[in-house]
């Protein structure tokens, strides 16, 4: 297992629609293990494969951030099959450093997926779990959470991030 580098906004893979996984082989198992380690180390409660430079439909979610193994989920080809409610909460992303903004998400989602053995599964998530699942599935569709903000707010954030990048570049 190894911690992988987390890509940040501006990297083209983050805006690409990720490919479905057709075979769960050693490479996918290693990717999943690395993603769990990378997510816990960050620390974050979710990670999507494109964030570690792999354009495949795999996400990891762990609202306990390593505290409770029962809360850790590895989801292959996840799909939202049902959702309800709406709640607006502050949200951030490991790929958009130092930004957190209110985003509206469902209060409940049902997600179908394959586990690492290829067994079809389904999980029902509420509140923070629902938010994490939606956020990570958005990544698989090439969508960062700031794409869900108003165009004005998004423009301001992009400007701020660019300024920060330019400043970091000068050092």
Active site residue 37: no
Residue nearer to Ni ion on the CB measure, 21 or 45: 45
Binding mask 4-43 for Ni ion (x = CB under 5 A): ----------------------------------------
Only one of the segments 64-72, 89-97, 98-106, 110-118 lies at the binding site for Ni ion (rule: CB under 5 A); that segment is 89-97
Token pair for 117: 């053995």
Q: How far is the CB of 14 from Ni ion (least distance, A)?
A: 9
Beta bridge partners of residue 80, listed in sequence order: 111
Q: How far is the CB of 156 from Ni ion (least distance, A)?
A: 19
Q: How far is the CB of 113 from Ni ion (least distance, A)?
A: 18
Hey, which bits of the chain come out as E strands?
Answer: 46-48, 58-61, 73-84, 87-93, 96-105, 108-114, 120-126
Among 35, 93, 111, 161, binds Ni ion (CB under 5 A): 93
Smallest CA-to-CA distance from 42 within 13, 3, 14 is with: 3
Residue nearer to Ni ion on the CB measure, 6 or 114: 6
Token pair for 23: 């075979």
Contacts with 57 (C-beta within 8 Å, 6 or more apart), sequence order: 18, 19, 20, 21, 49, 76, 77, 78, 140
Footprint on this chain of Ni ion (rule: CB under 5 A): 93
Which residues are part of the catalytic machinery? 136
């Amino acid at each position: 297992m190894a911690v992988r580098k987390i890509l940040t906004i501006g990297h083209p893979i983050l805006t690409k629609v990720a490919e479905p996984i057709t075979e769960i082989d050693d490479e996918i198992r290693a990717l999943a293990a690395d993603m769990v380690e990378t997510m816990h180390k960050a620390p974050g409660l979710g990670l999507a494969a494109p964030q570690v430079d792999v354009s495949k439909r795999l996400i990891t979610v762990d609202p306990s951030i390593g505290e409770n193994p029962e809360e850790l989920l590895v989801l292959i080809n996840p799909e939202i099959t049902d959702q309800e409610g709406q709640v607006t909460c502050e949200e951030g992303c490991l790929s958009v450093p130092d930004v957190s903004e209110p985003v509206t998400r469902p209060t409940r989602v049902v997600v179908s997926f394959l586990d690492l053995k290829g067994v079809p599964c389904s999980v029902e998530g509420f509140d923070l779990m629902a938010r994490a699942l939606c956020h990570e599935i958005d990544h698989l569709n090439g969508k960062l959470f700031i794409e869900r903000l108003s165009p004005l707010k998004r423009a301001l954030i992009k400007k701020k991030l660019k300024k920060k990048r330019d400043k970091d570049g000068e050092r």
